[in-house]
Amino acid sequence: MRSLFKLTLLNFVWIAVMVVEVEGATLEIAYSSLERIIVNRVMTEGGRYYMQGDPSSTCRYAFVQEPRVGAEGGRLRITVLFAGRTGTEVAGQCVGAGDNFDLVISGVPAYSDGDLFLWI
């Protein structure tokens, strides 16, 4: 079963770079423009979007940064670097697990009732 995934994921506001027909109109926007939109509107805390913690958090945080937009197999592909850590401060040191990896969001752009969506 296919699910509809609104482009508001992580509050992203993007528009498909691929040629998208919107009620008879065609809209084209460069991938680099989409990356700038994501950084300027979403990743407003030092180029990051925090899902947990904030820029002052050193031991417990989760954020995404460095969006890269492209296409693959007719789908819009947005890749961000995810970084997270869950730890506790002990004697001035953070003790706990942390990791970072690429997170990929992919879907087919669609339009309905004034909203752009990704079918995933």
Mean pLDDT of 109-118: 77
Model confidence at 23: pLDDT above 80: no
Structure tokens given for 26 = 């065609």
Model confidence at 103: pLDDT above 80: yes
Instruction: Please state the pTM of the whole predicted model.
Output: 0.71
Mean of pLDDT over the chain? 79
- Neighbouring residues of 52: CB distance < 8 A, sequence distance ≥ 6: 60, 61, 62, 63, 84
Q: Where are the beta strands (DSSP E) in 11-92?
A: 20-22, 25-27, 48-52, 60-72, 75-90
Mean pLDDT of 69-88: 93
Q: In the prediction, which pLDDT does 28 show?
A: 74
pLDDT band at 27 (very low <50, low <70, confident <90, very high): low
